[in-house]
Amino acid sequence: MTTHGPPIPLRDPRVVDVLVLFQATLVAVSAVEATVIGAATGFGVASPAILSVVLAVVLLVIARRSSKRMVRGIQWFLLTSAAVDLVLAVALGRTLLDPVALMTRIALPVSILRLSPKRAAS
């Protein structure tokens, strides 16, 4: 027997914490990759490595402290960057972003934005 049950809410600060921690991990990997490339090129282009490290640390701190003051701003920054890449992919590559990129760069920040409170408590 089945009934129409209510939707199961995921809007829980701890879910946001999980997603932010996961995102921090991915940014940390980007930081390592950017640092390796930077080292190989004599750090002629060091800004991506520096920005990645800073962003990864900030996200890790946010994930721990439940302070969501910056969460939404960072998500919008990452989404804007993904949107630029999506436009480039469509315009130049005649394709969308790869499935994994759609998952990590679009679905993940959108989920965090949807699940995190618009007005931060702290």
Partner 1 sequence: MSYVGSPMYEVTAEHAAALLSIPVVLGLLTFARRSQRPWATAYRGLPAVRRLLVSLVAIDATMHLFLGPTHGGRLGLALFSFGVVGWVLARRLILGSTRSAGTIVWALSGLAAYAVAAVSGRTTVDQVGTASKLLELAALASVLVRVQRVRFALGSAGLVATAVMVAAASWAGAMEAGGHGHELGEVPAPGVLLPQSEDRDPTPAEVAAAARFHRTVAAAIAPYQSLAAAAEAGFAVENLAGSAWHADNPVHKADGRIFDPEAPETLVYAEGPDGPVLVGAMFQMDGLRNPGPAIGGPLTVWHAHDHVCLSLVPLGLAGLTGPFGSCPPGTITIPLTNEMIHVWTVPGAPEPFGDLDETWLEMYLSSAAG
- Residue numbers of the site for partner 1 (CB under 8 A)? 1-12, 14-15, 17-19, 21-22, 24-34, 36-38, 40-42, 44-45, 47-49, 51-52, 55-56, 60, 63-64, 77-78, 81, 84-85, 88-89, 92-93, 95, 97-105
Minimum Å gap between C-beta 109 and partner 1 is 11
Alpha-carbon separation of residue 12 from 17, 28, 106, 115 (angstroms):
9, 25, 20, 7
CB 56 within 8 A of CB 68: no
Minimum Å gap between C-beta 72 and partner 1 is 16
Minimum Å gap between C-beta 34 and partner 1 is 4
Nearer CB in complex with partner 1: 24/71: 24
Residue 81, helix vs strand vs coil = helix
CB 82 within 8 A of CB 106: yes
Q: How far is residue 32's CA from residue 52's CA, in Å, rounded to a whole number? A: 8
Q: How far is residue 3's CA from residue 30's CA, in Å, rounded to a whole number? A: 45
Minimum Å gap between C-beta 69 and partner 1 is 18
The residue to which tokens 């090129």 are assigned: 41
Nearer CB in complex with partner 1: 35/69: 35
Nearer CB in complex with partner 1: 84/120: 84
